[in-house]
């Protein structure tokens, strides 16, 4: 069983449509793929239809932007009810923060001498609800200001560079509660990826676990072998599910090919059981994965 639980489509900052992503997952020999676009379920319907078509099992999810002690923490939410009003309201705030930041970013880049407009970035976004720095990066690359997305981040978009503007993100504990309350299973994405290492330790994980955190993404390209070993130990110590995933972004991120990291079937089963029990606790029908 090949299971990859973290991917992005062009419903956020990936470069493939949800349908193409699902087809690629099938071609890559995956049995199960989760679609986890940033802060929105916009790609779910298209991915669902495609999964039935090509014959791959699809887990519907999102990757949600949160903040803990000033550091960005990304939470993967599997099978939350997208119609949950509390979760929906909070996602609305995050998306509005993304949209509101764009004008300020473009203004800063223009102050830095770059010829770039909001309209150009919106054209690149193409209607995705989650506007991100990668969309700005793509415009910078197209106009010759950077070699690729990564170069654009290093020169213009990372914190401490001319184009950086921060944005709203939900406090992590609150978002774990909201995901859990919406019948989903919350998993911390790349706990020791860029940015969040400083704040994520055993004590913080226990704090989030008390709110409903179910697992941590151990096998991720941001983690080296030593990180993975240490995170595996932490997960074992407090009983968190341990996942592995690609964080695929299509052509937008090198070295994140579909299936480059995998989740074990028993770990996925535990996530699905947690979602089922959270759904039951909030009076919902058990959320189903999309089976071919």
Residue 46 interacting with ligand AMP (CB under 6 A):
no
* 258/279 with CB nearer ligand AMP: 258
Per the CB < 8 A criterion, the answer to whether 167 and 100 are in contact is yes
Q: Mark residues 26-45: x for contact with ligand AMP by CB under 6 A, - for none.
A: ------------x-------
Give start and end residues of each alpha helix (H) in 169-252: 172-181, 202-211, 225-238
* 31/148 with CB nearer ligand AMP: 148
> Which of 6, 68, 149, 173 is close enough to bind ligand AMP by CB under 6 A?
149
Per the CB < 8 A criterion, the answer to whether 74 and 62 are in contact is no
* 36/209 with CB nearer ligand AMP: 36
Of 93, 94, 60, which is closest to residue 79 (Cα–Cα)? 60
> Which of 18, 134, 181, 250 is close enough to bind ligand AMP by CB under 6 A?
134
- Inter-CA distances, 124 with 114, 116, 246, Å: 17, 12, 24
Q: Phi, psi (5° rounding) for residue 277?
A: -75, -35
269: exposed, middle or buried (Cβ count in 10 Å: 0-12, 13-18, 19+): exposed
Residue 163 interacting with ligand AMP (CB under 6 A):
no
Q: Mark residues 94-133: x for contact with Mn ion by CB under 5 A, - for none.
A: ----------------------------------------
* 10/63 with CB nearer Mn ion: 63
* 189/271 with CB nearer Mn ion: 189
- Minimum distance of ligand AMP from residue 220's CB (angstroms): 12
For 58, the token pair is 């699809």
Per the CB < 8 A criterion, the answer to whether 183 and 80 are in contact is yes
Residue 156 interacting with ligand AMP (CB under 6 A):
no
Residues that bind ligand AMP (CB under 6 A): 13, 38, 132-134, 149-150, 153, 249, 253
């Amino acid at each position: 069983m090949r299971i990859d639980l973290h991917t992005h489509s062009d419903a956020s900052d990936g470069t493939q449509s949800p349908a193409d992503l699902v087809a690629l997952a099938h071609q890559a020999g995956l049995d199960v793929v989760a679609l986890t676009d940033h802060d929105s379920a916009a790609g779910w319907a298209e991915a669902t239809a495609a999964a039935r078509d090509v014959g791959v099992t699809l887990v519907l999810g999102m990757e949600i932007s949160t903040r803990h002690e000033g550091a960005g923490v990304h939470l993967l939410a599997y099978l939350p009810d997208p119609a949950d009003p509390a979760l929906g309201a909070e996602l609305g705030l995050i998306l509005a923060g993304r949209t509101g930041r764009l004008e300020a970013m473009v203004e800063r880049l223009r102050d830095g001498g770059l010829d770039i407009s909001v309209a150009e970035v919106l054209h690149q976004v193409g209607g995705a609800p989650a506007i991100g720095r990668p969309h700005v990066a793509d415009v910078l690359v197209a106009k010759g200001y950077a070699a690729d997305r990564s170069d654009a981040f290093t020169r213009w978009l990372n914190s401490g560079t001319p184009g950086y503007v921060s944005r709203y993100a939900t406090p992590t504990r609150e978002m774990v509660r909201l995901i859990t309350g919406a019948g989903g299973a919350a998993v911390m994405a790349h706990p020791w990826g860029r940015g969040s290492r400083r704040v994520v330790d055993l004590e913080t994980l226990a704090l989030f676990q008390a709110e409903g955190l179910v697992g941590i993404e151990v096998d991720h390209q941001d983690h080296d072998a030593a990180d993975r070993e240490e995170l595996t130990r932490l997960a074992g110590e407090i009983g968190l599910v341990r996942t592995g995933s690609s964080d695929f972004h299509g052509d937008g991120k090198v070295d994140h090919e579909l299936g480059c990291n995998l989740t074990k079937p028993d770990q996925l089963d535990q996530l699905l059981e947690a979602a089922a029990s959270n759904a039951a606790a909030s009076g919902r029908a058990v959320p189903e994965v999309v089976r071919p």
